[in-house]
Structure formats: C-alpha cells, structure tokens
Chains A and B, each alone.
Chain A
C-alpha cells in the first residue's frame, strides 16, 4: 500500500510540475552554420520558460537538447549528467539563448558528426530539428512538453569576384568612363535579396594590396541589392604617368544590415587587384587575363 501511495504521489507531483513548466522555443530557420558562433549570437534561438505555479516550492530542472535530422536520426544529444540544474521560482519567466541551450561542452555528437565538427566546426548542410525538453534533475522524468523547431544549416558561400579579374590590366581610356564589376551570388541565397557592398581602394605607392584595403578610404563604397553586377563611373583622370593599381572586394549583409556569418567575421570576399594602363593598345604584348583561382 505504501509503495502504491508513493508512486501515485510521484506521478501526481510530476504531472503538476509538467503542467507548471511551460516552454516556448523559437529558432532562426537559417542560423550560422558554425556551431561555436551560437554561443555569442543572440539571433540563433530563444527559449522562454515560465513556471506557471503561483505558489509552492521552486522547480529544479535540467534541460535536454537534441539535434536531429528531419528523418529522426539523432545527430547530437545532451549528456544530462553534465548539465547544471536550473531553478525556476514560482510565477517566474526565464529567457535562454543558444549559449545555454546548445552547449557544446555537454552535447555528444554521434557517429561521423563529431570528426566533421572537429574538422570544420560545422554540420553537413541540410535540414535539422532542434528538440528541447526539461527533466527532473534525475534526467528521467520529464517536466515539460517536448518542443521542436526545424532549421536549415549551410555555410554561406561568399561571392567570388569575376570581373575585373586578378591582375587585369584595364585600358585607361575605357576605365576612366566605366568599369564593370561582376561577382558570384551569395550561396545559398538569403530569404531577402542579398545586400552586397562593393568597395574599391586605390593601392598607393609603397603599399601592399591588402594593406591598401585595410587602411585606405575607398574610392567606391556602394551597396547593391539583389544583383551581381555594378557599372562604376570612376570620374577620375586615370591617364597618368604612374601605374594605377586598385583592390576591390565585396562584403555581404543580411536584411538587418549585419554581416552574414563567415569565417573571416567581416563577410568579406577574397579580394582581387586590377591596374590601369595608359598605353596605346599597339604597345601591349597581349592582355593577360587571369581569374586568379
């Protein structure tokens, strides 16, 4: 009889708690592909936990997180023994971000995912589910409903600059009226039209190319939305005696004006240099075109 009473009491207690911890999960459908970035990015996910009980003892709980593929295969799961206990006081609301929810120090990645994560810091591109649920500190008895949200992971491939090609020599007579820039699109395409910032810097005498990019004021600093070509009217006298060299790059922004996630942090493409020559075409031994792969 005593065992039955204890069991019924436990079930009642769990049921009460289960009802008392309300969890709301929202996930950015296309978060940064680098999982270590999640610890400081506020735009990845949010969990709102509410202890609905107006009175009684605070609830102690542990959060279990799983990353699954859309067919249900578990990619990563929380080692519940390593998770710290959270205490939710009565009537309180707690907001958690990715740093607390997807904690890489408590997640165990299955199979080939761990080596891939060690090599690239990322999971294979594709659709995933984030699944969260609170448990009693024993890690067995659930305290909340399971919440799941889909998201898509893929490294944003930054643009590759097409024209002018690396070390291209442009005719000054044409270049001082118009220079056409082309680059490849941000891939995968963002949900809103991609915003590209094209910048052109002059490489001054005694400067290295990347040095000019990191130190000079750009002669062209223009935002282009949704297209991968820009015709620049330099409005410069380029037919000077000295060789004029330039370096250009593309920076990519999201719809909030923030740089898209990238390895270099600036969302800046590999740059390319080009130069202007003021020589009649007959003097040229042949224009070398090199896309600089």
Chain B
C-alpha cells in the first residue's frame, strides 16, 4: 500500500476524473447541437461554453463530495426509533386551508388573476393527488407496478367526452360511469396479466396502455384521432350553467359573472372526490382486503400458503386503482374541455408513478405532497423567465419537468427507496400487555 495521499490532491484527482467522464458523456450531445439550416440541411452549432460549464460542474461537485465524505466525523450513537408524533390538528387544519384557498384567491387577486391559481395550483394538483392515491392502491399497497395507468385515465376521459353528448346525462351521473368503465378495463387487462411476475406485469401494462393510445390516435370515426374530442357539455352547478346572462349560475345567485366560478366549483368537486378516494384507501387498509394487498406486496407465496386467492386480490387492487383513474379522467375532461391522446402518453403514466414513488409507496400524505411538489416545480420552471435567457427562446419547461421527474425517480430509489414519508403505521396495534382489562 502506498502512503495515503493528501486529501486535497486526492479530491483534485477525483474531480479531474469526474470532469473527464462528464466530458465523455457530454461530447458530442451537449457540445454540439444539430439544427437544420435554411436549406433544411443539418448543421452543427458548437456550444463549447455550455459543455465546459458542465465539465467544470462535474469537477466541482466531485471535488466537494470527496472533501465532504472525508471530513472527520464523530461517532454517533445509533438513534433509537422515535415514537411517531401524533398531530391530530394537522388534518382538520389542512382541510380548512384547502377549502378556504379557492375562495380567498379571487378576493386577494381579483377574479381574473385568480384563474391560474385556482386552476393550475388547485384543480391540477388535486387531480394529480387523486391519480396518485388511485395508483398508490396498486403500486403502494399491493406492490403491482402499473406502467399503464394513463390508459385508465384516458378511458375515463373518453367515456365522459363520448357519453355526455350521446346520452345527455349530467356529469354527476357520468362520473361513476367513467370510473366503472375504467375499472372494467382494469379488470379485463388485469385478468390475464396478474399471474405474471412483477416486472413482466409492469411491461405488459405498459404494452396495453400503448395499445389503447394507438387505438385512440387511429380510430378516427369515434375518437377524432390526434385532434381529440371537444365541445362536450361543460360542468354545471346542479343544472345551472356557468355562463354570463340571466340563466347562468352568477345571475341566479346575484353575483357578477366570472370565469373563475366554474373552476372554484370544479375545485370543490375534485377535492371531494379526492377525499373520498383517501377515505376508501385508509379504510380499506384496515380491512382484510387492504391487509391482503399489503401482504401480497410483502410475500406472494406466503399469501398463497395462507389461502389467499392472490389473483382476486390483485384484481381488486388493479380495478379499484383504475376506478379512481377513470373518475380523474372524467374530471380532467371537464377541466380541459378537450380530450386528446397526447394527454395520455407514457410520460403521463411515468409522472403519476413518480408521484407515488416520491411520496412513499403506501403513504397518503407523501403522495399528496409529491403531487404538489411535481406540479409546483414544473410551474415554477415556467415562471422563471431568466431560464429562457440562458437556454434560448425555445426553452420548454415541460421537457425539463420530465427530465427532473426521471432524475427524481432514480434518486429516490437510490437514496430513499421508501419515499419522502417512509414510516409505515401498522393497521392495527395491541396495547401494551395488561393495559386492557
């Protein structure tokens, strides 16, 4: 063994190696960009400053990491597991805040400026929370990696967009119908695939979702292809449409018409349904079915040895997850006013999966938090105008969002595989011996 190198020179060497690796990775993908010129012939634009910045970053990060890991550390006693802190006030307080939020926004910002806040940071986040909670049943509780969740979402959305003009039923009636349609799909898809091993199941759900998407793109007669469906009836307040004029919602209640009313109502509908999903998940977790889901995630063979019909149990998790996706799809259709296949790509499935993975598989709080984080972060990217100055005018935050979603999934699996909220509360506990009479 050679004598230990001085720390600084070791860190420097590590940094140089890292910079060289980054250079290898970045050349030529970062260093050059191929763009068609005015003759439509691809030409290279060199981006050496950007390339060198990345190399320097690689050097700096690795340099600091080596110094950091080598710092003298006092021996620490292993921390005893802390008793879970109970915060009974948290849930009611959070609920009150959620109810107050859309009502306060128009007052604070005016009805026009509030539109975006209620829609993007309200309805959109809640939709993702609902989707996250739905997928959480399959992925988090039952341990079934469903990579085709967006397909059920699509089924719900198309079910509403197609049935609403056809049947003339209100969205209250079509909401459960959309959910049931999606659940039926979940059932049909789930039936053949559920005896597969975990990773194969994931791939097959992905394949089915792609099939659904390709059919939606190509079945012009029904789905209108890439263009999608629009012009279906919008949401109404128990029959009162959100329109200006004497027969609208605003006139009926003596309010001044504002577009935000519709969104506020939609917000409350989504909130209510998300709460229902939450209630059902939490309750089911304490019932034989929910416990069986978790047991299935932990060890399928042991489940079978205990007489659990694993196929049925998986099917219920799959179908219930799909049901909530269908509901979310219906609400999505009402929010967008247009339903097209581009909203239900693999990226969408990946985003919802990332929400579940980030939040901690099985944790309701974590999933809600992660949904807010991912939607919030991508909106933040959109807000940051100076990024446009760095990356050029064609900077599209949506691409960066998916880039970050991907990185976040890798990072979570490597550093916190159980998610942000990683403690699992048992579904039932015994009091200490002797406490009970």
Binding partners A and B: no
